[in-house]
Amino acid sequence: MDRDHDPLFHAASKGIDPQAAAELFAAMDELKAVIDGENEVLALGLPNTTLELKARKAALQAKCTALLLEVSEDVRALAMDQGVLDQLATVTADMRRLTSENAKLLDETAKASRRRIDAVMQAIQTASDEN
């Protein structure tokens, strides 16, 4: 991307730390990819996510929060570049959509797991009653 169309370059010219802003967008993109991958697995009806994936999501969420606070400090001090605001709004909207879908899929997966457990328990009870 050339400098005329790079919101991070323009943000830097206004005093916003371009490294922090770039790291924020990179971390948010990585978090979106992790959640999107998890959603694909959950949509297939596969079991709930692994502890490793949950830990990765938590670490990325913490990183995004810290970087957002860092960038926000710069934003409060200066008028933020509209390009960065637009990029942040887009990434935030994508994140909301993905996390909403993720919550729905996790709930469906938990309900399906409960139904399987109930079916197994019912089969055990039936077998026990027959003996």
Look at 29 and 130; give whichever has higher pLDDT.
29
Instruction: Give the whole-angstrom CA distance, residue 58 versus residue 61.
Output: 5
Q: CB neighbours (10 Å) of residue 28? A: 22
What does the pLDDT read at residue 17?
72
- Residue extents of the structural domains in the chain: 3-130
Average pLDDT, the chain: 79
Q: Given pLDDT bands bounded at 50, 70 and 90, which one contains residue 33?
A: very high
Counting Cα atoms < 13 Å in the Cβ hemisphere of 6 gives 10
Q: Given pLDDT bands bounded at 50, 70 and 90, which one contains residue 108?
A: confident
Q: Given pLDDT bands bounded at 50, 70 and 90, which one contains residue 47?
A: low
Q: Rounded to an integer, what is the distance from CA 46 to the centroid of its chain?
A: 19
Contacts of 110 (CB under 8 A, 6+ apart): 48
Look at 124 and 84; give whichever has higher pLDDT.
124
The closest alpha carbon to 69, from 27, 99, 10, 8, belongs to 27
Q: Given pLDDT bands bounded at 50, 70 and 90, which one contains residue 101?
A: very high
Quote the DSSP letter at residue 78: S
Q: CB neighbours (10 Å) of residue 124? A: 10
pTM given for the model: 0.67
Q: Is the pLDDT of residue 5 over 90?
A: no
